[in-house]
Structure 1
Amino acid sequence: MNLNTHSQQMDKAIQFLVGELKALQVGRASAGLVENITVEASYGPMKVPQVAHVTIMDAQTIKIEPRDKNELKHVEKAIYDANA
């Protein structure tokens, strides 16, 4: 293996770690808590930010507002199932 290959592998590892750290529940609201949750929307599986506006209201509150009101139950179920 050459140095370039090792560098690419380290970049991938760092990107993975950053994603995992975003999702940690540390008592502060973060969009990272819901950005990787998959919603079984009526038009196929999508991530929460693709079907809803995610807004941080304050340190303890995340507001998730589906773009299509018919998807509300799907978003709610996905978040509940993810135990987020």
Structure 2
Amino acid sequence: MEKSEDRRPSQKEAYMKYGRGIITHAKAENIKIYKVEYTVEYKKDGVGPEDSGKDIKWCTLIRKDKNSPWLIDEIGEG
């Protein structure tokens, strides 16, 4: 598994204006967005919603303030 933080301000702005940020009211300094690449190997393909192979998801973490823990707020398609 490989992850990298997306530091583009536009990503955080989109979360705050159009995504769950409307509900959470998180500020930019309390948002981290990661691109996560991983490989899945199922015992039997074709049974679940996805088959085995490489996949990419975007994971948004938020916190209430600098003294709060980071929590996963959403996971989405890449």
Tell me the TM-score normalised to structure 2 length.
Answer: 0.27
Q: Which has the higher strand share?
A: 2
Larger Cα-atom Rg: 1
Structure scoring higher RCO (CA < 8 A, sep ≥ 6) equals 2
